[in-house]
Structure 1
Amino acid sequence: MKNQAIKFTDIHNGLKILSICAFVFFPLWAHAQSTKPEQKVLDFYKKYMTACAQPFLEQPNLELDGLFCNMDIKSYVTQELYKKIVHAYKAGVYGDLAGDSDYFTHTQDFSVQWTSGMKATEIEQSRNNSVVRLFMRFPKGTGASRAVCVRLQRDGNDWKIYQVDPSLETYLPDCKGK
């Protein structure tokens, strides 16, 4: 009888130790599993450019007239940036925000084919902010390569875009200024 009590106690203590280890190491594992800023940028741009290349299968959001190509971008951009773009669009001053181009690509037109030549490189990172340079190599005969500087901020364990810098002086900014 005493042997059984010892075995039960040993199992019980082993489960306690296992539980403690799980609670200690799981947050570290979960943090390590969060998407890196450069991967978040690539994911967003690939989905965004693909969505914009597709005909709208569903009824477009009439209020926004397909502003984001009927893509729900709220999981990729901060709430502040989303509101800023929507407000500019509704107020008729979207051109002041993005010039005569798309806010995210800083081009008038773009193609889903560009996604195969995209490369994201993290230029700077602090604890809560990151700057990623998205390089877009275009297929031959379709123009010179371009890059945009994408600024992200941490939102919990995720990263969200809060600004895309226009490339005013050059099509290939180094993203180290500002």
Structure 2
Amino acid sequence: MVILGCQISNGKPYILGQHIAMRNQSIKFTGIRNGYKILTLCVFTFFPFWAYAQSTTPAQEVLEFYQKYMITCDHMFSNGAEKKRDGLFCNMDIEKYITKELHKKIISAYKSGTYSNLTGDRNYFTHTQDFDARWASFMSVTEIMADRNNSVIRLLMNFPKGAGEPLAVCVRLHRESSVWKIYEVDPSLYNDLPDCKYK
């Protein structure tokens, strides 16, 4: 506390320097405290997004995509919605989940009339002909192989009783920057429960 001078106001002694010094300290203290509050707010606001972006595994990405895809396709087809330009992908933002090359491959096969050769008269991603939103809760994933930039995930669909036999799909992903994207789903061929260890 610094005392610079004395002033009498209304008959009471008043130390001007003391008031100024104390006022400056309170301003500085308030400024620091508000700075900490703002910093804390920023950390708690942006950290969850950063942590989510950094910690999403290929298995989580596959499960998220397939659950969303199954629910969206079921909703689209059960409402009798017309297929629009992107109806092949159930009007989803598919490019968030698959590579540009795979997107072009599927579109090209569809336009040229060779889609059934690519998929075996089934859906490319699910290897089914039907969709049911309830199936999304019966999906589980296992990482079969992984390295720094590639991963193979086995998606198992254990359908509810009476809806069919279990079905597995081998999903291959590639890392683009910090995001995992599907670049291929192995064809079903003759095995509905592949182990995904070999291509």
TM-score (norm 2): 0.69
Looking at structure 1, the residues matched to 197 and 127 of structure 2 have their Cα atoms a distance apart, in angstroms, of 18
Residues 34 and 157 in structure 1, CA contact (< 8 A), matched pair in contact too: no
1:38 and 2:59 matched: yes
In structure 1, what residue type is equivalent to 2:138? G
Looking at structure 2, the residues matched to 75 and 60 of structure 1 have their Cα atoms a distance apart, in angstroms, of 23
Looking at structure 2, the residues matched to 61 and 109 of structure 1 have their Cα atoms a distance apart, in angstroms, of 15
The Cα of 1:138 is off from its aligned counterpart by 0.3
In structure 1, what residue type is equivalent to 2:106? I
- Match of residue 123 from structure 1: 144
RMSD over aligned Cα, in angstroms? Answer: 2.4
The Cα of 1:149 is off from its aligned counterpart by 0.3
- Match of residue 74 from structure 1: 95
Aligned-partner SS, 1:124? strand
- Match of residue 22 from structure 1: none
Residue 61 to residue 143, structure 1, CA distance change in 2 (3 Å): closer
Residues 71 and 133 in structure 2, CA contact (< 8 A), matched pair in contact too: yes
The Cα of 1:34 is off from its aligned counterpart by 3.3
The Cα of 1:60 is off from its aligned counterpart by 6.1
- Match of residue 44 from structure 2: none
Q: Unmatched 5+ residue regions in structure 1?
A: 1-25
Instruction: Find 1:160's aligned residue among 173, 181, 186.
Output: 181
1:177 and 2:179 matched: no
- Match of residue 101 from structure 1: 122
1:114 and 2:107 matched: no
The Cα of 1:54 is off from its aligned counterpart by 1.2
- Match of residue 51 from structure 1: 72
Looking at structure 2, the residues matched to 60 and 159 of structure 1 have their Cα atoms a distance apart, in angstroms, of 31
1:143 and 2:164 matched: yes
In structure 1, what residue type is equivalent to 2:190? E
- Runs of 4+ residues over 4 Å off in structure 1: 29-32
- Match of residue 85 from structure 2: 63
Looking at structure 1, the residues matched to 57 and 165 of structure 2 have their Cα atoms a distance apart, in angstroms, of 28
- Match of residue 154 from structure 2: 133
- Match of residue 105 from structure 2: 84
Residue correspondences, number: 152
Residues 75 and 133 in structure 2, CA contact (< 8 A), matched pair in contact too: no
Looking at structure 1, the residues matched to 89 and 53 of structure 2 have their Cα atoms a distance apart, in angstroms, of 31
The Cα of 1:96 is off from its aligned counterpart by 1.3
Residue 172 to residue 77, structure 1, CA distance change in 2 (3 Å): same
In structure 1, what residue type is equivalent to 2:95? K
Larger Rg belongs to: 2
The Cα of 1:166 is off from its aligned counterpart by 1.9
Residue 156 to residue 138, structure 1, CA distance change in 2 (3 Å): same
Residue 37 to residue 163, structure 1, CA distance change in 2 (3 Å): same
Looking at structure 2, the residues matched to 154 and 129 of structure 1 have their Cα atoms a distance apart, in angstroms, of 6
Residues 34 and 158 in structure 1, CA contact (< 8 A), matched pair in contact too: no
Q: Unmatched 5+ residue regions in structure 2?
A: 1-46
